[in-house]
Amino acid sequence: MQNKTDRFQLKPTKVDEKYQFNFHTFNPKVEGVLVLFSLVVLPLISIIFLNIFKKSLNLDSDKMGLIINILTLIFSTIGGIIFWRLRPTNFVSSGAIILFLFPLILFISSIAGIVFITVVPGLLDKTTSKPIGWGAIILTLFQILGEVLLMIFAFKKITDLKAKMIATLKEDKLRVLLVVSIFTLLMFLIASVLYGIIAAKLGLGESQNQQALVEPLKDPKTRIAYIFVLIVLTIIIGPLLEELIARQAIFTTVSSRWLSIITSALFFGIMHIGSGDIANIGSYVIGGLILAVVFDITRGNITYSWLVHTLYNTIILIIVLASKDAFK
């Protein structure tokens, strides 16, 4: 007879039995609620508030993005300190620390990149003060550097994470192929195609996150170099780090399967609207929900959600690069 944890999950393999994911590491009523409020509820309330009053406060997307990043950093830092005080012994080994380090690392790498392109001449547009050409590439490289450092830290600190992923790829190839194929198709049809149709009907347009990523493609001098950097960010580095944070760390810290799925989906959406573009949060929340379900039904094995995320991003990037408007 299956227990509550086994319900709606795939039959365990030898890898699952050897490297079991603990869905109940912490107390969902204490640490789980702390994570929900510090990383989802408070940032989301802030984003909604800023969107409502952005005209009266005279806020453009850049100012909103800065305010949101600072508030997110404050909320996550306070949440992280409280979490550490509650659970100092396994704050690091469980992977909880990377959840609270993520906003800090991104903020530091962003500031470092901005300082660099500001000091070095020719990397900013003189009129708009926005990065152009190599400036955009260097700024993205600083982001990649921050993400790589956090990812290395995660693999070193989270017990058996690397061994579990390698074992899954070696021993459960057929299951990986089936699960990844099915859920990548599902994610593409729902989060991209179906949501895209609905968004077009509602006149939402392209998300600011997407615009920020493709804008540097319009510069013919640095286009090839930027495509390479974009591949590294969106296919190689980004999906793995985001799964470590939005699935591995969220499910560990929230410690309630259903609350983790909801928290993970909302957190994933917030991650991708740093400029406050709440009108386009829907596709990211849907994507996050599907990835959270993948992580849950595969018994907390990040290998599956990571590969679904990677393949989905690959498809989207190919579509973007094949678009007639990508380089205009």
Q: Cα separation of 207 and 283, whole Å? A: 9
Residue type (1 letter), 140: T
- Summarize pLDDT for 109-124 with one digit per residue, the tens: 999 999 999 999 989 8
Count the Cβ atoms, other than its own, within 10 Å of residue 46.
Answer: 20
R_g of the chain computed on alpha carbons: 20
* Cα gap 48→143, rounded to integer Å: 26
Q: Determine the Cα angle at 304 with ends 302 and 305, to 5°.
A: 70
- 286-303: average pLDDT: 98
Cβ atoms within 10 Å, residue 78: 14
Closest-CA residue to 93 (of 39, 30, 160, 33) = 160
Rounded to the nearest integer, the mean pLDDT of the chain is 93
Inside any domain, residue 8: no
Give per-residue pLDDT as tens, 57-111: 898 888 898 899 999 999 999 999 999 999 999 999 999 999 999 999 999 999 9
Please check the confidence at residue 40 and state whether its pLDDT lies above 80: yes
What is the rounded CA–CA span in Å between residue 242 and residue 270? Answer: 12
Q: What pLDDT, on a 0 to 100 scale, did the predictor assign at position 1? A: 45
Helical segments of the chain, H only? 14-18, 33-36, 42-52, 61-86, 96-119, 134-157, 161-171, 173-187, 195-202, 208-214, 223-231, 238-243, 250-254, 257-271, 281-297, 302-322
The pLDDT tens digits for 14-38 are 999 999 999 999 999 999 999 999 9
pTM of the predicted model as reported, rounded to 2 decimal places: 0.94
Residue 6, in any domain of the structure: no
Token pair recorded at residue 139? 């700024």
| Any domain includes 2 | no
pLDDT band at 4; cut points 50, 70, 90: low
Q: Is residue 328 part of a domain?
A: no
Residue 95 in domain:
yes
Please indicate, yes or no, if residue 4 is contained in any of the structural domains.
no
Domain count, the chain: 1
In a domain, 178, yes or no: yes
DSSP code string of 245-263: IIIIIHHHHH--HHHHHHH
Tokens of 142: 């600083």
Confidence of residue 128 (pLDDT cuts 50, 70, 90): confident
The pLDDT of residue 3 is: 58
- Whether 2 shows a pLDDT value over 60: the answer reads no
> What CA–CA distances, in Å, run from 123 to 60, 120, 138, 217?
22, 7, 9, 15
**Cα(249)–Cα(103) distance, rounded to whole angstroms?**
14
Closest by CA to 215, choosing from 106, 306, 108, 130, is 130
Contact present, 251 and 300 (Cβ < 8 Å): yes
Measure the CA angle with vertex 251, ends 249 and 254; round to 5°.
100
pLDDT on residue 192: 93
Separation of alpha carbons 112 and 89, rounded Å: 32
Q: Which residues lie closer than 8 Å to 26 by C-beta, 6 or more apart?
A: 32, 87, 94, 96, 252, 253, 254, 255
- Quick check: 5 pLDDT over 80? no
Residue 69 domain-assigned (yes or no): yes
What average pLDDT score do residues 286-297 get? 98
2, HSE (Cβ side, Cα atoms, 13 Å): 9
Mean pLDDT of 43-67: 90
- 13: tokens are 């393999």
Cα distance between residue 247 and residue 253, in whole Å: 10
> Above 60 in pLDDT, residue 224?
yes
Domain encompassing residue 24? 14-322
